[in-house]
Amino acid sequence: MWPFDIFKRKNQDSDDAYDRNLMRVAKRLRYGNYQLQYHYDYVTGYRNWSSHISNTRKFISDCARRCFGRRSCVVLGSGFCLDVPVLELSRMFDNVFLVDINHPRRIRQRIHETKNVQLVTEDITKIAAEALNSINHYKDFSVDMLIHSPNYSSANYSDTLGNFDFVISVNTLAFLAEPINAYLSRLRLIDDIAATALQSFLQQYHINMLPKGKSCIVSPISKRYYNSDGLQMYDHSIAYIPASVIRDPQTWTWNYSSDHTGRVEYSVKAWEY
Protein backbone atom coordinates (compact mmCIF):
# COMPACT_ATOMS: atom_id res chain seq x y z
CA MET A 1 0.00 0.00 0.00
CA TRP A 2 1.12 3.55 -0.67
CA PRO A 3 1.45 5.93 2.26
CA PHE A 4 -0.65 8.36 0.22
CA ASP A 5 -2.18 8.59 -3.24
CA ILE A 6 0.27 9.84 -5.84
CA PHE A 7 -2.44 10.97 -8.23
CA LYS A 8 -6.03 11.49 -7.19
CA ARG A 9 -8.12 8.88 -8.95
CA LYS A 10 -11.69 10.02 -9.38
CA ASN A 11 -14.78 8.14 -10.55
CA GLN A 12 -12.99 4.80 -10.84
CA ASP A 13 -14.79 1.60 -9.87
CA SER A 14 -11.58 0.11 -8.51
CA ASP A 15 -7.83 0.38 -8.68
CA ASP A 16 -7.79 -2.89 -10.65
CA ALA A 17 -10.10 -1.47 -13.32
CA TYR A 18 -8.02 1.69 -13.46
CA ASP A 19 -4.81 -0.29 -13.89
CA ARG A 20 -6.37 -2.43 -16.62
CA ASN A 21 -7.35 0.72 -18.48
CA LEU A 22 -3.80 2.04 -18.20
CA MET A 23 -2.48 -1.24 -19.60
CA ARG A 24 -4.83 -0.87 -22.56
CA VAL A 25 -3.69 2.71 -23.12
CA ALA A 26 -0.01 1.77 -22.88
CA LYS A 27 -0.51 -1.02 -25.42
CA ARG A 28 -2.44 1.13 -27.90
CA LEU A 29 0.11 3.94 -27.70
CA ARG A 30 3.03 1.47 -27.85
CA TYR A 31 4.78 2.75 -24.74
CA GLY A 32 6.54 -0.59 -24.37
CA ASN A 33 8.00 -0.26 -27.87
CA TYR A 34 9.37 3.17 -27.05
CA GLN A 35 10.99 1.87 -23.88
CA LEU A 36 12.53 -1.12 -25.68
CA GLN A 37 13.89 1.12 -28.43
CA TYR A 38 15.35 3.43 -25.79
CA HIS A 39 17.01 0.47 -24.08
CA TYR A 40 18.31 -0.86 -27.40
CA ASP A 41 19.81 2.55 -28.22
CA TYR A 42 21.46 2.53 -24.80
CA VAL A 43 22.96 -0.94 -25.27
CA THR A 44 24.26 -0.23 -28.77
CA GLY A 45 25.59 3.20 -27.85
CA TYR A 46 26.76 2.51 -24.29
CA ARG A 47 30.11 4.28 -24.66
CA ASN A 48 28.47 7.38 -26.09
CA TRP A 49 25.77 7.39 -23.42
CA SER A 50 28.08 6.85 -20.45
CA SER A 51 28.81 10.52 -19.71
CA HIS A 52 25.11 11.45 -19.99
CA ILE A 53 24.06 8.61 -17.67
CA SER A 54 26.81 9.52 -15.21
CA ASN A 55 25.95 13.24 -15.26
CA THR A 56 22.25 12.52 -14.76
CA ARG A 57 22.74 10.16 -11.83
CA LYS A 58 25.22 12.49 -10.14
CA PHE A 59 22.91 15.47 -10.53
CA ILE A 60 19.98 13.56 -9.03
CA SER A 61 22.10 12.28 -6.15
CA ASP A 62 23.48 15.75 -5.39
CA CYS A 63 19.98 17.24 -5.35
CA ALA A 64 18.71 14.43 -3.13
CA ARG A 65 21.43 15.09 -0.57
CA ARG A 66 20.24 18.68 -0.24
CA CYS A 67 16.67 17.60 0.63
CA PHE A 68 15.54 18.35 4.15
CA GLY A 69 13.13 15.44 4.39
CA ARG A 70 14.05 11.78 4.09
CA ARG A 71 10.61 10.20 4.18
CA SER A 72 9.78 9.76 0.48
CA CYS A 73 11.00 10.27 -3.07
CA VAL A 74 9.14 9.84 -6.38
CA VAL A 75 10.58 9.39 -9.89
CA LEU A 76 8.29 10.41 -12.76
CA GLY A 77 8.80 8.47 -15.98
CA SER A 78 11.16 5.88 -14.52
CA GLY A 79 11.19 3.38 -17.43
CA PHE A 80 14.26 1.13 -17.32
CA CYS A 81 15.85 3.40 -14.65
CA LEU A 82 19.05 3.57 -16.70
CA ASP A 83 19.65 7.13 -15.54
CA VAL A 84 18.15 6.83 -12.05
CA PRO A 85 20.36 5.96 -9.05
CA VAL A 86 17.68 3.73 -7.53
CA LEU A 87 19.88 1.96 -5.01
CA GLU A 88 21.37 5.20 -3.73
CA LEU A 89 17.93 6.81 -3.44
CA SER A 90 16.65 3.77 -1.54
CA ARG A 91 19.41 4.32 1.02
CA MET A 92 18.64 8.03 1.36
CA PHE A 93 14.83 7.83 1.64
CA ASP A 94 12.43 5.66 3.61
CA ASN A 95 10.30 5.07 0.52
CA VAL A 96 11.03 5.45 -3.19
CA PHE A 97 8.24 5.35 -5.79
CA LEU A 98 8.94 4.72 -9.48
CA VAL A 99 6.07 6.01 -11.60
CA ASP A 100 5.41 5.05 -15.22
CA ILE A 101 2.50 3.91 -17.37
CA ASN A 102 4.47 0.76 -18.26
CA HIS A 103 7.13 -0.92 -16.14
CA PRO A 104 9.51 -3.15 -18.14
CA ARG A 105 9.79 -6.74 -16.97
CA ARG A 106 13.44 -6.30 -16.06
CA ILE A 107 12.54 -3.52 -13.63
CA ARG A 108 9.66 -5.50 -12.12
CA GLN A 109 12.07 -8.34 -11.41
CA ARG A 110 14.85 -6.12 -10.14
CA ILE A 111 12.64 -4.15 -7.78
CA HIS A 112 12.15 -7.16 -5.49
CA GLU A 113 15.73 -6.68 -4.35
CA THR A 114 14.91 -3.39 -2.61
CA LYS A 115 12.06 -3.54 -0.11
CA ASN A 116 11.49 0.19 0.17
CA VAL A 117 11.14 0.78 -3.61
CA GLN A 118 7.67 0.48 -5.12
CA LEU A 119 6.39 0.56 -8.70
CA VAL A 120 3.38 2.76 -9.40
CA THR A 121 1.50 2.41 -12.67
CA GLU A 122 0.25 5.83 -13.70
CA ASP A 123 -0.01 8.06 -16.75
CA ILE A 124 2.01 11.13 -15.84
CA THR A 125 0.71 13.04 -18.88
CA LYS A 126 -2.86 12.60 -17.53
CA ILE A 127 -4.01 12.89 -21.13
CA ALA A 128 -3.23 9.58 -22.86
CA ALA A 129 -6.45 7.81 -21.83
CA GLU A 130 -8.47 10.94 -22.56
CA ALA A 131 -7.03 11.02 -26.08
CA LEU A 132 -8.17 7.46 -26.79
CA ASN A 133 -11.61 8.04 -25.28
CA SER A 134 -12.09 11.27 -27.22
CA ILE A 135 -11.24 9.58 -30.53
CA ASN A 136 -13.77 6.83 -29.80
CA HIS A 137 -16.59 9.14 -28.71
CA TYR A 138 -16.27 12.29 -30.82
CA LYS A 139 -16.44 12.41 -34.59
CA ASP A 140 -14.90 15.89 -34.71
CA PHE A 141 -11.85 15.11 -32.61
CA SER A 142 -9.19 17.80 -32.32
CA VAL A 143 -6.09 18.43 -30.24
CA ASP A 144 -7.71 21.65 -28.99
CA MET A 145 -10.40 19.46 -27.42
CA LEU A 146 -7.70 17.79 -25.31
CA ILE A 147 -5.75 20.92 -24.48
CA HIS A 148 -8.83 22.83 -23.31
CA SER A 149 -10.43 19.93 -21.47
CA PRO A 150 -11.65 20.95 -17.98
CA ASN A 151 -10.29 17.65 -16.62
CA TYR A 152 -6.75 18.94 -16.32
CA SER A 153 -5.84 20.98 -13.31
CA SER A 154 -2.15 20.68 -12.59
CA ALA A 155 -2.74 22.27 -9.20
CA ASN A 156 -4.44 19.06 -8.01
CA TYR A 157 -1.41 16.95 -8.81
CA SER A 158 1.02 19.56 -7.53
CA ASP A 159 -0.77 19.41 -4.17
CA THR A 160 -0.51 15.63 -4.15
CA LEU A 161 3.13 15.49 -5.27
CA GLY A 162 3.83 18.11 -2.63
CA ASN A 163 3.44 15.33 -0.05
CA PHE A 164 6.78 13.94 -1.18
CA ASP A 165 10.12 15.18 0.08
CA PHE A 166 11.78 14.90 -3.34
CA VAL A 167 10.29 14.73 -6.86
CA ILE A 168 12.39 13.78 -9.90
CA SER A 169 11.54 14.28 -13.57
CA VAL A 170 14.29 12.50 -15.48
CA ASN A 171 14.74 12.65 -19.26
CA THR A 172 10.96 12.64 -19.62
CA LEU A 173 9.84 16.22 -20.21
CA ALA A 174 10.93 16.50 -23.86
CA PHE A 175 9.34 13.17 -24.85
CA LEU A 176 5.98 13.35 -23.04
CA ALA A 177 3.92 13.90 -26.20
CA GLU A 178 5.85 11.56 -28.50
CA PRO A 179 3.72 8.37 -28.15
CA ILE A 180 0.45 10.34 -28.25
CA ASN A 181 1.48 12.42 -31.26
CA ALA A 182 2.68 9.30 -33.08
CA TYR A 183 -0.64 7.54 -32.42
CA LEU A 184 -2.69 10.52 -33.62
CA SER A 185 -0.44 10.82 -36.65
CA ARG A 186 -1.05 7.18 -37.60
CA LEU A 187 -4.78 7.96 -37.55
CA ARG A 188 -4.17 11.18 -39.53
CA LEU A 189 -5.74 13.25 -36.76
CA ILE A 190 -2.87 15.65 -36.17
CA ASP A 191 -0.55 17.90 -38.16
CA ASP A 192 2.84 19.36 -37.25
CA ILE A 193 1.37 22.55 -35.79
CA ALA A 194 -1.08 20.68 -33.56
CA ALA A 195 1.65 18.21 -32.54
CA THR A 196 3.87 21.08 -31.40
CA ALA A 197 0.96 22.65 -29.53
CA LEU A 198 0.24 19.40 -27.68
CA GLN A 199 3.91 18.91 -26.89
CA SER A 200 4.21 22.43 -25.48
CA PHE A 201 1.01 22.02 -23.45
CA LEU A 202 2.08 18.72 -21.88
CA GLN A 203 5.51 20.07 -21.01
CA GLN A 204 4.09 23.13 -19.27
CA TYR A 205 1.47 20.98 -17.54
CA HIS A 206 4.20 18.63 -16.33
CA ILE A 207 6.27 21.47 -14.89
CA ASN A 208 3.22 22.95 -13.15
CA MET A 209 2.64 19.57 -11.48
CA LEU A 210 6.01 19.65 -9.76
CA PRO A 211 6.15 21.12 -6.25
CA LYS A 212 8.53 24.06 -6.17
CA GLY A 213 11.49 23.90 -3.84
CA LYS A 214 11.80 20.12 -3.77
CA SER A 215 11.91 18.98 -7.40
CA CYS A 216 14.63 18.47 -9.96
CA ILE A 217 14.37 18.18 -13.74
CA VAL A 218 16.75 16.62 -16.25
CA SER A 219 15.70 16.98 -19.87
CA PRO A 220 17.00 17.31 -23.43
CA ILE A 221 16.26 20.81 -24.68
CA SER A 222 17.29 20.60 -28.33
CA LYS A 223 18.18 17.96 -30.90
CA ARG A 224 20.97 18.13 -33.47
CA TYR A 225 21.69 15.89 -36.43
CA TYR A 226 25.01 15.63 -38.26
CA ASN A 227 25.51 13.82 -41.56
CA SER A 228 28.29 11.30 -42.28
CA ASP A 229 30.63 14.17 -43.18
CA GLY A 230 30.13 15.80 -39.79
CA LEU A 231 28.05 18.69 -41.15
CA GLN A 232 25.17 19.85 -38.94
CA MET A 233 21.93 19.34 -40.85
CA TYR A 234 19.50 20.71 -38.29
CA ASP A 235 19.18 21.92 -34.71
CA HIS A 236 15.69 22.37 -33.30
CA SER A 237 14.06 22.77 -29.90
CA ILE A 238 12.19 19.83 -28.41
CA ALA A 239 11.39 21.40 -25.03
CA TYR A 240 9.29 24.54 -24.96
CA ILE A 241 10.07 25.87 -21.52
CA PRO A 242 10.06 29.53 -20.41
CA ALA A 243 13.55 30.75 -19.61
CA SER A 244 12.33 31.88 -16.18
CA VAL A 245 11.70 28.24 -15.22
CA ILE A 246 15.30 27.13 -15.83
CA ARG A 247 17.54 28.63 -13.19
CA ASP A 248 21.28 27.96 -12.86
CA PRO A 249 21.17 24.78 -14.95
CA GLN A 250 23.92 22.28 -15.51
CA THR A 251 24.36 21.55 -19.21
CA TRP A 252 25.96 18.78 -21.22
CA THR A 253 25.73 16.98 -24.57
CA TRP A 254 24.07 13.60 -24.88
CA ASN A 255 25.61 11.67 -27.78
CA TYR A 256 22.49 9.66 -28.50
CA SER A 257 23.37 7.65 -31.60
CA SER A 258 26.03 7.37 -34.26
CA ASP A 259 26.43 5.19 -37.36
CA HIS A 260 27.63 5.38 -40.96
CA THR A 261 24.77 7.75 -41.91
CA GLY A 262 25.47 10.35 -39.22
CA ARG A 263 24.90 11.07 -35.55
CA VAL A 264 22.25 12.50 -33.25
CA GLU A 265 22.99 14.69 -30.24
CA TYR A 266 20.82 16.22 -27.57
CA SER A 267 21.59 19.34 -25.60
CA VAL A 268 20.64 18.53 -21.99
CA LYS A 269 19.86 20.84 -19.10
CA ALA A 270 19.43 19.84 -15.46
CA TRP A 271 18.11 22.17 -12.79
CA GLU A 272 16.44 22.30 -9.40
CA TYR A 273 12.90 23.59 -9.40
Give domain 15-272's CATH number out of 1.10.540, 1.20.120, 3.10.450, 3.40.50. 3.40.50
Whether 33 contacts 182, CB under 8 Å: no
Rg, C-alpha atoms of the chain: 18
Question: What is the reported pLDDT for 237?
Answer: 92
CA gap 196, 238 in Å, rounded: 9
pLDDT, tens only, 137-157: 666 777 887 777 666 555 456
pLDDT single digits (tens) 16-61: 777 788 888 899 899 999 999 989 988 888 788 999 999 999 999 9
Which residue stretches of the chain have pLDDT < 70? Answer: 1-15, 136-139, 149-159
Sort strands 95-100 and 72-76 into parallel, antiparallel or unpaired.
Answer: parallel
Name the nearest CA neighbour of 3 among 239, 164, 147, 142: 164
Its pTM stands at 0.88
DSSP per-residue string spanning 65-103: HT-S--SEEEEES-TT-TT--HHHHHHHSSEEEEEES--
Q: What is the largest CA-CA distance in the chain?
A: 58
> Which pLDDT belongs to residue 244?
87
Instruction: Provide the pLDDT for residue 127.
Output: 80
